[in-house]
Each structure stands twice: as structure tokens, then as C-alpha cells.
Amino acid sequence: MSFYSPLYLILILGLIPLILMYLLKKEHEDIVLSSNYLWDKMLRDMEANKPWQKLRNNLLLILQIILFTLIVLALARPQIFKGSINSDNLIIVLDKSASMKNKDINGITRFEKAKEEIEDLIKSTKANTKTTLISMDNKPNILISNSRDKSVLKKKLNEIVVNDSSDNIKDTLSIVKALIKDTDNYDLVFFTDKEIDTDIDNLKVNKINEKETNISLDNMSYSKNDKNITALTTVTNHSNREQSFDISIYGDDQILDVQEVKLKAKESRDIYFDNVNKNTNVLKAEIDIEDSLDVDNSRYLVINSDPIKKVLIVSEKGNIFLEKAIGINENIEVYKSNEKLPNDLKGYDVYIFDGKVPKDIPKDGNIVMFNPNNNNLFNVSNGDKNGEIKLINDELFKYVNLDFYIDKTNVIEKTNWLRPILTLNDKPVIAKGIRDNQKMVVVGFDIRNTDLPLKIDFPIFIQNILDYTLNINTQEKVEVLAGENIDINILPKSKQVNIINPKGEKQKITSPSYSNTSYKGVYTIEQVTDDETLKSYFVSNIDTSKESIDIKETHEGNLVKNDNQYKVRTGKDIRNLILILALIVISLEWVVYNRGY
Amino acid sequence: MSQNLIDSKLIKKLERLSLNSNLVLDKGFMGGRKSKSKGSSVEFSDFREYTEGDDFRKIDWNAYARFEKLFIKLFTEEREASVNIFIDTTKSMDYGNPKKSFIASQIAAVIGYVSILNMDRVSIYTTKESRLDYIENINGKNLFRKLVNYIETLSFKETKDMFELINKRPFKKGISVIISDMFTDNFETAIKYLSYMNQNIIVIHTLSKEELKPKYVGDIRFIDSETKEGKDVTITLETLVAYEKTLDSFLSNIKETCTKYGCFYSLIENDDIEEIIFNNLINTGILR
């Protein structure tokens, strides 16, 4: 038994005046007797036998002492069955990872259950216990430290929201170790469904888990062929019974396919979905079942447009400058051709024609032309030897110094879809434009006739051209596990980058490292440039290897390891019981007073 | 006193009673009791030869006819006994319903009357202002009124223990009647002294019902009527039992002392004087 507010026990000193009052100032009924001769004799006899008779005879006093003691006890709020939290420092760690969403405890989630228990635990601590509250997902977070204010603790506790990430027990333990470094007088309680394996003393793990009936989607991938995509997802039945359910697959929120799956207990199976449209951006697989943990019932996948860009350079003599400048990009594969091209040329992201332009310009990919001849799209003519070069401000010349010399150039005849960028005597030398969704950049001179390749600005210029033509807007990493960091590939031209999380909240980011991925789902990256907003996606999925699995599975054959399992035995406040006892004593006293025992 | 100590009806009943005593007297005035002395009474005692100077009226002529010698018939002289009635007039006697003092007065009057009838000399001793007060040598019915007056004017408010005063003066051989509640530790000393003074002792112990069977409850301060001292007692079943025990040992102590000195003893619990006389006093052999 312990007391919530033991200070009140000092009031027990009040018994002294109570007893003194009885001894000294007892109200006696005065009765005149013939003589006290016999009573004196009697008292002498009695007192000789029992010196404590005076008190013992006083049933009323005894009852009043009991009553007083009970009231003081009630003030001190005794609690039984507690015992476990006795130290002055209490550290509570609450797991807020995805698995805590498991609804296996009488319909409420493990997280809610843990919260309830923590609330009880905080309530039952002594008034002078300093409590530190830590939440744990993929990084530990000290919400409040060394607080004696239970209302603040409760408020902080209620602010904790469970998310979809997995937890980082190792980091949490090291934080906790730092906290307890200087003291032995602490109690550490973990509220988690995971196994905590550490050498910290005074550790208590309150494992919040029961039988679960979880089905999880463990991973998802795809393979691409010419026409379409085959998606693969692994589904695992973590429960102990056979279950059957439907798996649906969605492409950009349109339902594509449904399969019925029947899984035996603990069985895991790969499910394939063929014929998924190639142009889908995001795939989502979903299990249609009511199980204990529903966050792992869906999984997302970004279909990445091929990260490797293919660039074809068509040049009769070969252009080493271009090859080198383009080749510094790791995600670009450079193909060279000086032979006659087939008519139905296709399959590249960018075609660079150095010199001669073929009759049939490829219909896919974007086009860059250096020193073109007349063709079906536009005509060129010889440019003036001397003249005024004027730059119309454009992203192609971003960070490029115009300090270069052009020996000989053609000028491009005005075409309505081509916009001049560099002009010689008001005639376009470099132009760009979009025709039938094909981006084109036309440079009127042969770079070998300039000193541009010798300048340090040349790779930048080429890179700018590639940026424009290649749509380099690829988010390289498109999948994270909830809570993990992701590097956002920010384009150099981006003015502002926003990330829209699965809840629809838009957030402007300033650093390429983004960590707010603790909710599963599709995150949209918006890159705002001068003239357009480019969108790319990444997805956050549950780490099912940690979060979906029943603890019993992870520690099979090691089940004995439950010696630090701890249940919050919330001090049962027996104040009411004591008050009832006090009432009984009062009525007893009344009876005694009336009957005069 | 509102009530008469003794009424004429009772007096008639008392005519035939006398104090029981085997006392043999050798001194004193003529009275109604046997004595060692020979004298003029109707009770024959002995014969003796006539000597000169004897009253020749006492010669037994029948004996002379038979033996031709002169014999004188001797008769026992009847003497009066002195009856000393000790009435405890301490404040404690002024208690009870009816008051012990009243009962004691009645008993004293009855015994006094009976003694006077038997031609005894009655003295009443009480305490007054811490000294022994008395009326002595009442004999003859015509003095009975005086005795009753004395008894009636007694005030029971002394604090001095009468038993301490008894041995301050001598008593003639006779009968001593002690009427008291015996709340004293000097009882035995007094009895011893009276016994030494050749007294036939009769102890009449008056206790009120409240003293014999107290019916109090709760915390009580008992105030001694004599000393005004208070005593805090919490009355519980246990204390009542203890009281009963104490009372028992108190009574048996007194009885023991009485047996030791050959006293008559009677505990008066009744409140009706006739019942007292016929149940207590006659039954215990005090009166006959």
C-alpha cells in the first residue's frame, strides 16, 4: 500500500489532542452518591489489574480514534496493489508506430489502450514523482520532461497521435539511457507491442497486444514490358486461421482489377496483376477485409518513368563536345549514330541532330538541332557575318555567359511555334518551341564554329537544353517506409517546392531532405518553375516486417523472455472503501453512544 | 420528619418483643434482665442456710419442716441492661429512597422501644460536629417520648466517621446496636473495642437500593456526599460486574468480622419498617 499524498498523514497528530481531550476533559454526568467508598475500592481493584483500563473502557474513544485515522487515511489517498512505481522519476515511453493501430484489444486500438493505461499510471503516481513522457516512432521525441503537473502530462499525452511509421527502439533506448545516466531512482515503462531488449535496470515493458487477425500487404513491385505493366504484391496472413478476401488494384485512383485470395494461417503469397496501363503514375493495392490492423491493408507504388534517359546523337562526324557534356549526367545513356537512320526512328527521349536533319523527324521524344539544314519544319538562311547579338532572357541561358565568339551561323526563318532566344540582327539564331507536344530546341550554328565548347559555360548550356528537353523531373527515390527520410530531387530551376501529403496538406520545403513521411500514402512533389508546375510522386508504405508481425512470431522459441513484462497495476484508490468504513464506524459509535456500552 | 417514626399500631406489635441477648449482668439497676446477683425477683435461684441478719421473710418454712433447719430461698436479681444504640449520622446515611437515615431512625426507635419495654436502659450515640453526641439512660415508657424526640431531631450531615469516636469512651456492660452503612475502614476496630467493653453487639447494616444495585450508564462523576470529592467512572458492563464483586467482598468482610466477634448481623434492604422487624430482625435473632 502506498499513499498518493502522504503529507496528509501528518494530520494523524490530531489524535493527540483527541486523546488528551478524553483524558482531561471528559464530560461527566455528576451524580451525588452517599459515599464513594465502594467505587473507590472498585476502581482501586480494577486499576491495579489493568492500568490501561481507562482507555480500554472507552469504546467511544477507540471508535473516534479509528474514525479519525480513517479520515486521515482517506485524505492521504492510500492505494493498494501499486508497489511497482515507487521512485521519484518516472519515464514513460509510448510507442506510436503503425502496429499500435492494431485493434485487437476489445475493439480499441493498442495505442488507445496504452494511452488509457498511461493515464491511469500518471494518475496513480505520487504527487512528487517527476514524469518524463517520450513518444517513439522512427525517432524518439521527448514531449515533456520531469514534470510534476499531471494536467500538463495528460494534455501532452492526449496530443500524441499514432502514425504509420515503424519504431526506432535503439535510438529511444539511447535517449533513455542518457536521461537516466545520473540517477538510480527511476522507473522506466515502455508501452509498446515490440520486444525491448536492453540492459537498462528498472525497465518495465507493458506489452499491449492480444490475439491479432492481421493480414498485411508486404511489398509491391512492377515489371514493364513494351505494352503494359505487371504488378506484384505479397500478401501475408498473420493470423492463426484461414482467411479469404479480395485484393483490388487501383491505377491513379481508378480500379483496375480485383482478385480473390484465400490464405491459410501464416501463409504468404505473391499476387500478380497483369495488363496494367503503362501510363499509370501510382498503383495502389488494397485488401478488402476487416482485420485488426488496417493500415497495412493497402500499399502504394509509383510507376517511375524510366529513370534512365536515352539520348541519341545523330552526327556525321561525331561531336565529342556534345558527347562529353551530355555524358556527365549519370542518368542519361548516350547513343551515337552516323549512319543512315531508319525511317521509323523511335524509342529515345531526346534526339540530337548535329548538322543534317532527316526527312522524317521522329514523333516521340524531343528534338535538339545544331546547325540544321532546311527541312519540313522550318527553313534556314545564312546569317550576317557581323551584327548585334541579342539575348532574349530564357532559361536556356541561365548561368551562361554570352561571352563567346561565333564564326559562322545560320539564322532561322520565323516560324510561329518557334520562339527566338538568341538573335543576330534581330534574326533568330537559337530558338525553341513546342510542336505537337514535342519540345524542340534549334541552334543555328555548329558549335565547332564557336569557342563556346572551350568555355566553362558550355556544359551548363547543354545541361539547360537537356533540362528543357528531357523533362528531368524525376524523383529518383519514389518509395519510403513511413517515417523515414527521403531526398527530394529539387530541380535547379525550381522556384518553390511543395509537398502535398496524403491528407492533402501542402507544405513548402526548403531542404531536399524530407522527413514528414509518417503517414502512408501518396505524396505529391510540386516543383514550381517560371513557366510551369512539375509534379512527381513518392509513396510512403508501412514497414510490415516490423509493424504487421505479431511479436510471438518474431520471438518464436524465445517466449520465455517475458520476465520484464509489466502490467500497469494502477493503484487502486481505496479512499471510498475507507470512507465507507468511516461511515460504519460513525454508525457504530452512534450505537455505542446510545446503548452506552 | 414528615413521616412518623413509629405509629401506635406498630407499638402494639412490639409489645411482645424483646432484644435477644444472653447477656448476664452483674451490675446495674433493677431491671428486667437476669443477673448474677441474688435479689428480689420471682425467679428462684438457690437455697442457703439462714444466718443472722438475714431477712427472715425469706425463710423457706417448708424446708424447715422437713429438715428442721432454717433455709433461705434465694432469687435471681433482675437487673436492667444498658442498650447502646449507635446511629451513624454521617451524610452518607442521608441518601436513598427512602433515606437510609429514616430507616435507621425507625430501627433505632423500635429497638429503643423494645428495650424500654424490657426495662433496659437505653442510650443513643450519634456524631455531632465531629464529636460523639448522645442521650443516655432512658428507661421507663414515659421517657420514650424523649428518645423519639432525640431521634427525630437528628441531622444526618456529619462527615466524621462515628467508628473512630466509639473507642474514645467506656461503656457499661450491655448491648450495643450499630446502625450504619458501614462505609468505613474503622469498623473492625470499633467492634473489637465494643467487644472488649463486654458488649453484646448487634450490627444493622443499612444500604440503599442504589448502592446495592447501581443502575448508572455512561461517563459519570460520582461525588461523595461527605467529602465532596469527585470520582470519574465510566460505567460499562465490566465496571458494574467489578462493582458487584467489590460489594460482595465488602459485605462478606463485614459478616466475617461479625462472626469473629459474635455479633448479630443483619443487612437491611427493605424499606418497610414492619418487614424489617419481622423479616430481618426476628429472622436473624436480633429480636424475639
User: Is residue B287 in some structural domain?
Assistant: no
User: Is residue B179 in some structural domain?
Assistant: yes
Closest CA in chain A for residue B227: A35
With beta carbons under 8 A apart, name residues in chain A contacting B243.
38-39, 42
- Residues in chain A, overall count: 597
Query: A69 with A62: CB under 8 angstroms?
Result: no
Report how many domains make up chain B.
2
Q: How far is B154 from chain A (nearest CA, A)?
A: 17
Amino acid, single-letter form, for residue A354:
D
User: Under an 8 A CB cutoff, do A33 and B232 touch?
Assistant: no
| Dist CA A448 CA A271 (whole Å) | 56
> Based on the domain organization, do B48 and B126 belong to the same domain?
no
User: Under an 8 A CB cutoff, do B239 and A58 touch?
Assistant: no
Of the residues A30, A37, A62, the best mutation for testing chain B's interface (the one with the most B CB atoms within 10 Å of its CB) is: A37
| Dist CA A454 CA A469 (whole Å) | 23
User: Is residue B2 in some structural domain?
Assistant: no
Q: How far is B259 from chain A (nearest CA, A)?
A: 22
pLDDT at B156 over 80: yes
Q: How far is A39 from chain B (nearest CA, A)?
A: 7
| Dist CA A195 CA A203 (whole Å) | 12
With beta carbons under 8 A apart, name residues in chain B contacting A59.
236
User: Under an 8 A CB cutoff, do B247 and A597 touch?
Assistant: no
- The residue out of B63, B78, B93 marking a domain boundary is B78
With beta carbons under 8 A apart, name residues in chain B contacting A56.
none
User: Under an 8 A CB cutoff, do A34 and B181 touch?
Assistant: yes
> Based on the domain organization, do B275 and B233 belong to the same domain?
yes
* Domain architecture of chain A: domains with CATH: 2-81+575-595 (no CATH), 89-210 (3.40.50.410), 217-303 (2.60.40.10), 309-470 (3.40.50.880), 479-541 (2.60.40)
pLDDT score recorded for residue A562: 46
Closest CA in chain A for residue B223: A32
User: Is residue B54 in some structural domain?
Assistant: yes
How many CB pairs below 8 Å do chains A and B form together? 96
Closest CA in chain B for residue A593: B218
B248 falls in which pLDDT band (50, 70, 90)? very high
> Based on the domain organization, do B16 and B58 belong to the same domain?
no
> Based on the domain organization, do B68 and B182 belong to the same domain?
no
Instruction: Considering only residues B126 and A44, tell me which one the structure prediction assigns the higher pLDDT.
Output: B126
With beta carbons under 8 A apart, name residues in chain B contacting A32.
222-223, 225
User: Under an 8 A CB cutoff, do A42 and B100 touch?
Assistant: no
Q: How far is B204 from chain A (nearest CA, A)?
A: 17
User: Under an 8 A CB cutoff, do B224 and A41 touch?
Assistant: no
User: Under an 8 A CB cutoff, do B183 and A37 touch?
Assistant: yes
Q: With the CA atoms of B275, B279, B285 and B288 taken in that order, what torsion angle do they form, in degrees rounded to the nearest 10?
A: 50
Q: How far is B16 from chain A (nearest CA, A)?
A: 36
User: Under an 8 A CB cutoff, do B246 and A42 touch?
Assistant: yes
> Based on the domain organization, do B87 and B72 belong to the same domain?
no
User: Under an 8 A CB cutoff, do B243 and A39 touch?
Assistant: yes
User: Is residue B157 in some structural domain?
Assistant: yes
Please tell me whether residue A476 adopts helix, strand or coil conformation: coil
Give the B-side interface with A, CB within 8 Å: 91-96, 100, 181, 183-184, 208, 210-211, 216-227, 229-239, 242-243, 245-247, 250
B255 falls in which pLDDT band (50, 70, 90)? very high
pLDDT score recorded for residue A555: 39
User: Under an 8 A CB cutoff, do B219 and A35 touch?
Assistant: no
* Beta pairing, strands B71-79 & B44-49: antiparallel
Tell me what percent of chain A is helix, strand and coil, each rounded to the nearest 5: 25, 35, 40
Q: How far is B132 from chain A (nearest CA, A)?
A: 21
pLDDT digits (tens, 9 = 90+) for A23-82: 775 567 778 877 888 888 887 777 655 555 555 556 777 888 888 888 888 888 777 755
pLDDT score recorded for residue B129: 85
Closest CA in chain B for residue A59: B236
With beta carbons under 8 A apart, name residues in chain A contacting B246.
38, 41-42, 45
Residue in B183, B233, B235 nearest the CB of A35: B183
E strand or H helix that includes residue A24: helix A15-24
The pLDDT of B116-130, averaged and rounded, is 87
> Based on the domain organization, do B226 and B129 belong to the same domain?
yes
R_g of chain A, CA atoms, integer Å: 41
> Based on the domain organization, do B37 and B103 belong to the same domain?
no
Closest CA in chain A for residue B234: A57
Percentage, residues of chain B above pLDDT 90: 11
pLDDT at B252 over 90: yes
With beta carbons under 8 A apart, name residues in chain A contacting B237.
597
User: Under an 8 A CB cutoff, do B223 and A31 touch?
Assistant: yes
User: Is residue B222 in some structural domain?
Assistant: yes
> Based on the domain organization, do B209 and B241 belong to the same domain?
yes
Phi first, then psi: what are they for B14, rounded to 5°?
-80, -15
Q: How far is B161 from chain A (nearest CA, A)?
A: 12
The pLDDT of B227-234, averaged and rounded, is 79
Give the A-side interface with B, CB within 8 Å: 26-43, 45-46, 54, 57-59, 596-597
Could you give the strand order of the β-sheet that contains A203-207, starting from the edge strand earlier in sequence? A140-147, A130-136, A89-95, A186-192, A203-207
User: Under an 8 A CB cutoff, do A29 and B219 touch?
Assistant: yes
DSSP alpha helix (H) spans, chain B: 8-14, 61-67, 100-117, 144-152, 162-166, 187-196, 209-212, 237-260, 273-275
Pick the closest to residue A423 from A452, A388, A373 (CA basis): A388
> Based on the domain organization, do B126 and B226 belong to the same domain?
yes
B235 falls in which pLDDT band (50, 70, 90)? confident
User: Is residue B161 in some structural domain?
Assistant: yes
Domain that holds residue B98: 8-23+81-281
Locate B46 and state its grid cell. 438457690
Q: CATH number for the domain including B182? A: 3.40.50.410
Pick the closest to residue B3 from B94, B96, B81, B99 (CA basis): B99
Closest CA in chain A for residue B185: A37
B30 falls in which pLDDT band (50, 70, 90)? low
Pick the closest to residue B152 from B119, B124, B117 (CA basis): B124
> Based on the domain organization, do B93 and B168 belong to the same domain?
yes
User: Is residue B117 in some structural domain?
Assistant: yes
**Burial per residue of B136-145, b for 16 or more beta-carbon CB atoms within 10 angstroms, e otherwise:** eebbeeebbe
User: Under an 8 A CB cutoff, do A39 and B231 touch?
Assistant: yes
Locate A41 and state its grid cell. 475500592
Averaged confidence pLDDT in chain B: 83
> Based on the domain organization, do B144 and B211 belong to the same domain?
yes
Q: How far is B179 from chain A (nearest CA, A)?
A: 15
The pLDDT of B65-69, averaged and rounded, is 90
Residues of chain A with pLDDT under 50: 553-563
Residue in B91, B216, B236 nearest the CB of A597: B236
* 3-state SS track over A317-378: CCCHHHHHHHHCCCCEEEEEECCCCCCCCCCCCEEEEECCCCCCCCCCCEEEEECCCCCCCC
Query: A245 with A269: CB under 8 angstroms?
Result: no
User: Under an 8 A CB cutoff, do B183 and A57 touch?
Assistant: no
User: Under an 8 A CB cutoff, do B221 and A45 touch?
Assistant: no
> Based on the domain organization, do B191 and B60 belong to the same domain?
no
